Every structure is written in C-alpha cells, then in structure tokens.
Amino acid sequence: MAARGAQRPNGHSQPSKICQFKLVLLGESAVGKSSLVLRFVKGQFHEYQESTIGAAFLTQSVCLDDTTVKFEIWDTAGQERYHSLAPMYYRGAQAAIVVYDITNQETFGRARGWVKELQRQASPSIVIALAGNKADLASKRMVEYEEAQAYADDNSLLFMETSAKTAMNVNDLFLAIAKKLPRTEPPSSAGAGGRGRGVDLSQESPRGRGQCCGN
Ligand SMILES: Nc1nc2c(ncn2[C@@H]2O[C@H](COP(=O)(O)OP(=O)(O)OP(=O)(O)O)[C@@H](O)[C@H]2O)c(=O)[nH]1
Ligand SMILES: [Mg+2]
C-alpha cells in the first residue's frame, strides 16, 4: 500500500489522500542521478555507483499535510547512446529533475539542453527542478551557484544544490517538487484507479495529470 514507508517530516496525523506522480531524472552520465534516487529512496550512498543501463524504476512517498505524495521515479541513463530513449520516460511525467555536477561546466550545458527539450516536448504543466549535485565537492566547483540560480529563475525552475553523498537538500528537493504539484482531486478520477493502482504506465493519460484520490 502506498502510504507504507511514507516519510512524515511534519506528520502527526494519518494522511487521508494519496496522489501519485511520475517523475523522471535526466542529465549527463555520472552527475549522480542514481545516487540522488538511492539517497532519497533508501538513504544510502555508494562511492562506486554503477552507470545505469536503459533506466531504473523506483518509488518513494512523502507526506504533505493530509496527503501522501507517491513518486514513481524513472532514473534514466545519461550515456549519450541512451538519449533516444528519454522521451519514453519523460512523456506523461508530471515532474522532472535535471541534474548537473557543480564540478563540471559541461554537465551544466547538457542540463540546459535537457530543460529546453522538456520545455518543447514534455507536458506543458511539467514541474522541472534543476539540481546542482556533488555540492560536497565545493573546492572543485566550476559552476557558480548564482549562475545556475539566475538560469533557473529565467526558466521558472526549482533550483537546489544537492549532495547525494552527504544527503544535503535531497529530501528537500523532492518535498519542494511535491509542494508544486497539483494535489487537488481531479473530478473524474476520484475512486477507481487511485490507491493501490499498479504502475502500468499504459493506463496513464497521454498528458499524464497527477492521480489523486480521497479516502
Ligand atoms: N562526491 C560526490 N560524489 C557523488 C555524488 N553523487 C554521486 N556521486 C558519485 O558520482 C559517480 C556517478 O554517480 P551516479 O549516481 O552513477 O551517476 P548517474 O548520473 O546515475 O550516471 P549514469 O547512470 O551513467 O547516467 C559515482 O561514483 C557516485 O558515487 C555526490 O553528491 N558527491
Ligand atoms: Mg545512473
């Protein structure tokens, strides 16, 4: 059941509503996409994280007020040869995290390319977050915080510097995304297909609005 394992940063009361959203991670290889997901979902970090092949799927929930927000997370492979697969994962996604490595300027350029592609091809209502990862390596910094913040402001993106290694801002980033996603109940989707629904993406509407259902 989706509510199990949910984080309750503020939580006293049992959430009464469950919303699930498809979220995709994009970015150059080795920027730390899988590491961010591993930190968020399992609270772990691997110094020698293997490069992703194709994509990986994980889920994690966070609680916001009276709502459990369940993320269906697609962690894509950053290697160039997998680029053509990306639309399969961002199509119908309600949220995206575009990741770069603050120690590598090239990865910031690549992140801007992903943002442009999402703005053109993904759902118009997609919530896009920019994550400047490896913030623990500040002594090797090549991308200034202010430069990325200005870019994010210009493009209406959420922006945080993160560290999958130290856990800095990892939960906060997902929470900030959850807060920006629509948690109102769409009139037609109440009841069926919400709580306990499988992850059969073929059942999602092409424009992929978030699924919310009351208790
Ligand atoms: N210092 C530091 N290292 C990190 C951080 N995040 C990831 N790494 C390291 O960076 C390397 C690449 O991390 P991955 O998570 O595999 O990167 P990825 O973006 O998923 O790469 P692909 O799957 O090839 O697209 C690994 O050796 C991680 O241990 C971080 O926040 N700080
Ligand atoms: Mg990976």
DSSP 52: P
pLDDT at residue 177 in the model: 98
Q: Find out whether the beta carbon of 22 lies less than 6 Å from any atom of ligand 1.
A: no
Q: Whose CA is nearest to atom 11 of ligand 1?
A: 30
Provide φ and ψ at 204, rounded to 5°: -80, 150
Separation of CA 135 and ligand 1 centre (Å): 12
Tokens of 10: 């503020």
Q: Is 121 left (phi over 0), alpha (psi -120 to 50) or beta?
A: alpha
pLDDT at residue 16 in the model: 76
pLDDT at residue 198 in the model: 28
pLDDT at residue 201 in the model: 30
Q: 190-208: b or e for each residue (b if 16 or more CB lie within 10 Å)?
A: eeeebbebeeebeebeeeb
The answer to whether the beta carbons of residues 109 and 139 sit under 8 Å apart is no
C-alpha to C-alpha distance for 214 and 4, rounded to whole angstroms: 16
Mean pLDDT by 10 residues, the chain (215 residues): 44 73 98 98 97 97 93 98 96 98 98 98 97 98 98 98 98 97 59 31 37 50
Q: Find out whether the beta carbon of 49 lies less than 6 Å from any atom of ligand 1.
A: yes
Q: Find out whether the beta carbon of 35 lies less than 6 Å from any atom of ligand 1.
A: yes
- One-character DSSP codes across 141-164: --S-HHHHHHHHHHTT-EEEE--T
- What pTM does this model have? 0.85
Separation of CA 77 and ligand 2 centre (Å): 5
Q: Set out the domains of the chain in order of their start, with CATH numbers.
A: 17-180 (3.40.50.300)
Could you give the C-alpha distances from 44 to 35, 70, 164, 214, in angstroms and in order? 8, 19, 8, 32
Beta-carbon neighbour count of residue 107 at 10 Å? 24
pLDDT at residue 183 in the model: 79
Tokens of 59: 């889920």
Which residues neighbour 149 within 8 Å (Cβ) at sequence distance 6 or greater? 159
